[in-house]
Amino acid sequence: MLFKRIFSFILIVAFLWTSVLVQFSWAVEASQANVLEDLSQLEIAIYGVATAEKSLVERVEYLEKELVGRTLPGTITSRVKQLKDFIIAGTPEDPSVIFKINASQWILEAKITSEPLSIKIENLENVLFGKTSTDVLAMKAENIFSLCFKESKPQVEEVIVPAGTLVPVNFLSSLSSKDNKTGETFNFQITENIFIDNKLIIPNNSEGVGEIIKVKKATFLSRSGKLELKFKPISALDGTSLNLILGEEAQKENTRIAIAVGVGIVGLIILSNPIGLIAGALVPGKNVKIEQGTQIFLQVKEDTKVIALVQ
């Protein structure tokens, strides 16, 4: 009996110890995955691509030297968090580098492009100074921001963009089920400033990217053409990604435009689903064509916290 009790106790201890090790291992893996995800997000925001072929340490050190000219103290996790707070997150008291560059681009060019941060900084330097500097990226961004808002520091505020907020966009190129192929991308543009009260969330002329996820050509007197389009997230002024869909509110507004104006929507059926599709009217033998400049409404998918510019 004593032997059975001891054996049972050993089994329980072994089970508990194994569970703890599994949980600890899972936590370590989850933490590492979060660091890699944040690091890739930073690289894509700054350069447009992630450099996954390098080691984690090399990637972090390279970013630190490019941004501030030296490596930062602390663990890899804390250093990546510092970089993310500085470049992407920011605070109302100290906006992120992305916010500063986007706000500067809007002041200078009345638009925000979808280029990576390093390209935007280079272009703005050329506009302002006629050349690029050899400073680190953070210093370049600060010089640009300080010059664009020379008179006074802009007032910023943290706000929630409600789900369902309407966002009017137009297509910057023509698309058709006859000529385009699955996997091709297209550009779209915001057609008016998006405010929450008097706070600017997305500036007019901001650009986004969409993808053609399915194409069917029409067949003569038989199958109608079809285009399925996915609209990728648009960046708010502070760089926060806003997911856009063709939801119920956008569908109502698109229907209203079609009836009142008849421009760009005629011949299209707008379907409400998680990614937003535009399909051809079910007319046998007809291909779908979306003309350049066609305007439709999308909507913000979920409540999203952003840092906005108070007007």
Tens-of-pLDDT digits for all 311 residues of the chain?
A: 554 455 444 434 443 343 433 343 333 344 556 888 888 888 888 888 887 778 888 888 988 898 888 888 889 999 999 888 888 888 878 888 999 998 898 888 888 887 889 999 999 999 999 999 899 999 999 999 989 887 777 888 899 999 999 999 989 988 888 888 889 899 999 999 999 988 999 988 888 888 888 887 877 666 677 778 888 888 888 888 899 887 778 878 877 766 333 333 333 444 333 334 454 444 455 777 788 888 888 889 999 999 888 87
What is the pLDDT, as a whole number, of residue 166?
93
Query: Torsions phi, psi of 132, nearest 5?
Result: -100, 150
66: Cα separation from own chain's centroid: 23
Domain boundaries, the chain: 2-46+53-89, 97-154, 158-310
**Would you say the pTM of this structure is higher than 0.95?**
no
Question: Quick count: other Cβ atoms within 10 Å of Cβ 201?
Answer: 24
What is the pLDDT, as a whole number, of residue 13?
41
Query: Torsions phi, psi of 17, nearest 5?
Result: -65, -40
DSSP state of 203: -
211: Cα separation from own chain's centroid: 14
Q: The domain 158-310: what is its CATH number? A: 2.40.128.260
What is the pLDDT, as a whole number, of residue 294?
84
What is the pLDDT, as a whole number, of residue 281?
41
Non-local CB neighbours of 257 within 8 Å, separated by 6+ positions: 263, 264, 265, 295, 296, 297
